[in-house]
Structure 1
Amino acid sequence: MASYKDKKVITIGVVSELTGLSERKIRYYEERKLLAPERSKGGTRKYSFQDVERLVDIANKMEDGMQTFEIRKMEQRELKNKQLRERMLRGQINAAFNMRK
């Protein structure tokens, strides 16, 4: 079951109020592929609480002088590292219990 933080149920107006970011800036971050809200049947953007946290993090990094492409590259690197750690851990578990795929 998905966590409530992952459910995309928050509108852009509420996200704007929660983060202090303008709707325009939120859409800009989406254009720069820093987040991907879902769309309702009517085309309304829907965000999760995790997206809200991510937007705050992005805004803080931008305030510190980072560019959107740097943030995207850093997030891609972090994702690759996480996937590598998971594969290594799975391999260690399989080796410890003599399991095969």
Structure 2
Amino acid sequence: MSDGKLSYKEKKVITIGIVSEITGLSQRQIRYYEERNLIFPERTERGTRKYSFSDIEILGDIADKIEEGVQTFEIRKDMIKKAKGKQTREDVNKMIRGQLNAHFNIRK
């Protein structure tokens, strides 16, 4: 988001119990995926896990891949690869915007 605010999909406000109900995964499965660094909930001061709608989508993708026989380390490897690709595209876009701004003498 350009104004620094998270979209509703990124806000971590959903408890593990609700996530379990929505996804059909057990709370133990969800915690396991966290242990395997596939999902990253926030924690309240009391340690309660909080998830976002995006996290729920990721958990659904993880569950589908596990059902297909994909191992968690393979899922993690794929997630890292995708994150690097996304960052690279963002870096290229920033560079291009900078070059265009310099060429057309646009000041922010």
TM-score (ref. length: structure 1): 0.90
Q: Percent identity?
A: 58
CA distance in 2, matches of 1:75, 1:63: 17
C-alpha offsets along residues 44-65 of structure 1, whole Å, 9 cap, x if unaligned?
1111111111100111111111
Residue 11 in 1 paired to residue 15 in 2?
yes
Residue 70 in 1 paired to residue 74 in 2?
yes
CA distance in 1, matches of 2:98, 2:49: 42
The aligned residue for residue 46 of structure 1 is 50
Unaligned runs of 5+ in 1: none
CA distance in 2, matches of 1:86, 1:50: 20
Residue 56 in 1 paired to residue 82 in 2?
no
Coordinate RMSD, CA, aligned:
1.3
- Counterpart selection for 1:27 from 28, 31, 34: 31
Per mean C-alpha deviation after superposition, the further-off stretch among 45-54 and 89-98 is 89-98
| Over 3 Å off, 4+ runs | none
The aligned residue for residue 88 of structure 1 is 92
C-alpha offsets along residues 25-80 of structure 1, whole Å, 9 cap, x if unaligned?
00110110101111122221111111111100111111111111111111111111
Which is richer in helix? 1
TM-score (ref. length: structure 2): 0.84
